[in-house]
Amino acid sequence: MTTDHLTMRDLFDTALRRFGERPAVTSGGVELSYRELVEQANGLASTMHELGASADAPVALMMSNGIEFVVADQAIIRCGATKVPCNDLLSGRDIAYITRDSGAVIAIATHSQLSYALDALNDPDTPLRTVVVVGAMPDDPPRGVMSWTEAVGDGRLEPPDVLVDPSDRALIAYTGGTTGSPKGVVHCQRGLAINVLNHIIEIGFGDDERLVITSPLPHSAGFHLQAGLVKGAHCFVEHAFDPGLVVERIEKDRGTFLFAVPTMIYRLIDHVNAIKADRTPDLSALRTILYGAAPITSDRLTQGIEMFGPVFMQLYGQTEAPNFITRLTREDHDVARPERLASCGRPTPMARVRIVGEDGTERAAGEIGEVTAMTPFTMVGYHGLPEKTADTVRDGWLYTGDLGRVDDDGYLYLVDRKNDMIITGGMNVYSTEVENVIAELDAVAQVAVVGIPHPDWGEAVAAFVVASSGETLDEADVITHCRAALSRYKVPKSVWLVDALPVTALGKLDKKWLRNSVAGSTPSGSK
């Protein structure tokens, strides 16, 4: 098989059949072997194919972490459909927009998002016509609702007979949009299959891996799990991050791999330090702690290296080119070279990186410019946004929107972001989206949202609000309004009521001044 003919279906159907009764996934006290995973996925794939799922008729996964997510993920691959993953933290507004924009015809929903799925089913502006319910069925379910058990059936030995082309759409992953609406990042079958292989190579997965997955599967963790399955790993999928459970998985189940955002690493370090008062935990099975998605403090990283040994690896990527544009290896994590720890590594063999100026010309080593990357797994484009696609991918180069520099040894250092994206707990928040919601309040005249340093979350969302003339504005009203309209992680952690917003000499809003002004301050609406 060549990459010209490579699809996700070919890759996984061939790989997973090799492992038979070997345990594939354990979650919530339930374990599936590879044979059981394949048969259940084939059963669900056949049902979805009969219901019309295809590359042009996507399936939305409105699901929490669990065995069902893994089965559904594989089922979508096996029927050649396009996956639209939605995480637990999304608001009803986000779900409604994504469902309409993607054109999803089927949604598979767990309890946390079932009400949103049913609302979408009743929305005349969406083509959604079937909701598969994981867990208890609703009372008097409306037409188009079926149970997980019914959808999976007794399982099947073979997937449905469909033709899957390497250029077919395989994924629409929604990411925050600077215009206030999420953008659908489209990936094709070939690109995603190459990306999975790239994960295996860059992480260095062996034949005996035991993955501990605690992050939401709709995001980066889902790519790591897919790569692990291709190698025959035993994947322990947890509903949420719990440092005590992570230690148990490493000690009792001999977990070899953990993916974590920095906030999780901090809490894991603190937990291990706490239990050391009573005993010394056996962490010897752990080979890799892969982290990324947010800045990590050098002192905490040093603590982690001293505690766990040379197991840390950092990745840098984007939804548009998932995860491995650059990699900071285990060997690069040398506490004797703290300047190297500030980088996000060197380009992987499947990626090229350039730093370019505003005119598009390449900058010399040490000079700051926009980070651009070229990979065989870069997105096809933004769904329904050809102008935005053309602006982001030019002559095969992905313009990331990040500002950085490359040193003489080829290590990439991120120094700022061209846009105003905030990274809080590993989740991306675009300030414009939050600003648009706050501006809906009649009492608001102006608003600016920025990310400010936070010891746990990396950054916290902070809002600066100017009240309209003659209006009385309360910080709690701003928070309450945001909670009703935004996903939880996008809601401001603090609100400052100010008389005016600062501007630069050119008359532009000065967000840098706002960020710097809050050091050591307590906001009026601190949460």
What is the 3-state secondary structure of 242-296?
CHHHHHHHHHCCCCCEEEECHHHHHHHHHHHHHHCCCCCCCCCCCCEEEECCCCC
The count of domains in the chain is 3
Record the pTM. Answer: 0.85
Q: Are residues 397 and 498 in the same domain?
A: no
Q: Among 369, 386, 417, give the residue marking a domain's end.
A: 417
According to DSSP, the residues that pair with 313 across neighbouring strands are 290
Does some domain include residue 182?
A: yes
User: How far is it, in rounded angstroms, from Cα 500 to Cα 465?
Assistant: 8
Q: Are residues 391 and 432 in the same domain?
A: no
Identify the domain boundary among 165, 188, 211: 188
Q: How far apart are CA 319 and CA 292, in angstroms?
A: 13
Give the pLDDT confidence score for residue 341 in this predicted structure: 86
Q: How far is CA 187 from CA 62, 173, 243, in A?
A: 19, 8, 33
Separation of alpha carbons 30 and 239, rounded Å: 13
For residue 491, tell me if it sits in a domain: yes
Question: Rounded distance, CA 60 to CA 39, Å?
Answer: 21
- Distance between CA atoms of 108 and 439, rounded to whole angstroms? 34
Distance CA 225, CA 234 (A): 10
489 three-class SS: helix
The two structure tokens encoding residue 409: 């040894």
Residue range 203-229, pLDDT digits in tens: 999 999 999 999 999 999 999 999 999
User: SS3 for 476?
Assistant: helix
Q: Is the dihedral of CA 514, 516, 517, 519 positive or negative?
A: positive
Q: How far is residue 133's CA from residue 76's CA, in Å, rounded to a whole number?
A: 16
- Numbers of helices and strands, H then E, in the chain: 16, 27
**CA distances from residue 484 to 75, 460, 490 in whole angstroms, order as listed:** 34, 19, 11
How buried is residue 384: exposed, middle or buried, by Cβ count under 10 Å (0-12/13-18/19+)?
middle
Is residue 199 domain-resident? no
Final residue in a domain of this structure, among 360, 388, 417: 417
Which residue, among 422, 489, 364, 391, has the nearest Cα to 89 in the 3D structure? Answer: 489
| Digitized pLDDT (tens) for each residue of the chain, 527 residues in all | 456 679 999 999 999 999 999 999 999 999 999 999 999 999 999 999 999 999 999 999 999 999 999 999 999 999 999 999 998 888 888 899 999 999 999 999 999 899 999 999 999 989 999 999 999 999 888 899 999 999 999 999 999 999 999 999 999 999 865 445 789 999 999 999 999 999 999 999 999 999 999 999 999 999 999 999 999 999 999 999 999 999 999 999 999 999 998 888 999 999 999 999 899 999 999 999 999 866 677 778 889 999 999 999 999 999 999 999 999 999 999 888 888 888 999 999 999 999 999 888 999 999 989 999 999 999 999 999 999 999 999 999 999 998 889 999 999 998 866 667 788 988 888 887 898 899 889 899 889 999 998 888 889 999 999 998 888 899 999 999 999 999 999 999 999 999 999 875 445 678 888 988 875 554 554 43
Tell me 357's DSSP state. -
Identify whether 231 is part of a domain. no
The answer to whether residue 228 is domain-embedded is: no
In contact, 37 and 71? CB cutoff 8 Å: yes
Rg, Å, the chain Cα set: 23
User: Phi and psi (nearest 5°) for 342?
Assistant: -80, -10
Name which of 209, 232, 208, 235 is nearest 222 in CA terms: 235
For residues 434 and 491, membership in a common domain is answered with: yes
**CATH number of the domain residue 500 falls in:** 3.30.300.30
Q: How many CB atoms lie within 10 A of CB 358?
A: 7
- Using CA atoms, how far apart are residues 501 and 514, in angstroms rounded to an integer? 8
* Residue 31, CA distances (Å) to 21, 65, 269, 321 in order: 11, 14, 29, 32
**Nearest CA-CA partner of 319 in 5, 84, 14:** 84
Residue 416 has φ and ψ, to the nearest 5°, of: -175, 180
Same domain membership, residue 326 and residue 268: yes
List the Cα angle 157/158/164 in 5-degree steps: 160
Q: What is the DSSP string of 83-125?
A: EEEE-TT--HHHHHHHHHHHT-SEEEE-HHHHHHHHHHHT-TT
* Measured distance CA(77)–CA(430) in Å, rounded: 30
Residues 178 and 71 in one domain: yes
**Residue 295 near residue 263, CB atoms below 8 Å:** no
pLDDT digits (tens, 9 = 90+) for 135-164: 999 988 889 999 999 999 999 999 999 999
Regarding whether 402 and 425 lie in a shared domain, the answer is: no
Is residue 289 a contact partner of residue 272, using CB atoms and an 8 Å limit? no
Instruction: Answer yes or no: do 441 and 513 share one domain.
Output: yes
Angle among Cα 385, 179, 123 to the nearest 5 degrees reads 75
Q: Which domain holds residue 127?
A: 3-19+32-188
Are residues 313 and 371 both part of a single domain?
yes
Q: What is the domain-level CATH number for residue 328? A: 3.40.50.12780
Same domain for 393 and 469, yes or no, is: no
3-state secondary structure of 27: strand
**Same domain? 340 vs 460:** no
- Report the CATH number that the domain containing residue 14 is assigned in CATH: 3.40.50.980
Q: What is the DSSP letter of 362?
A: B
Verify that 314 and 429 share a domain, yes or no: no
Instruction: For the chain, give the longest Cα–Cα distance.
Output: 71
- Helical H segments across 166-219, by residue range: 189-203
Rounded Cα distance between 150 and 154, Å, is 9
* DSSP element (H, E) containing 312: strand 312-318
pLDDT of residue 494: 94
The per-residue pLDDT for 19 is: 96
- Cα separation, 466 vs 443, in Å, equals 9
Q: What stretches of 153-217 show up as alpha helix (H) in DSSP? A: 189-203
CB 234, CB 209: distance < 8 Å: yes
Q: Specify if 211 maps to a domain.
A: no
Cα(524)–Cα(473) distance, integer angstroms? 12
User: Is 446 inside a domain boundary?
Assistant: yes
Whole-number average pLDDT of the chain: 91
Q: Say if residue 388 is in the same domain as residue 463.
A: no
Best CA proximity match to 182, nearest among 108, 84, 111, 82: 84
Q: Would residue 301 count as lying in a domain?
A: yes
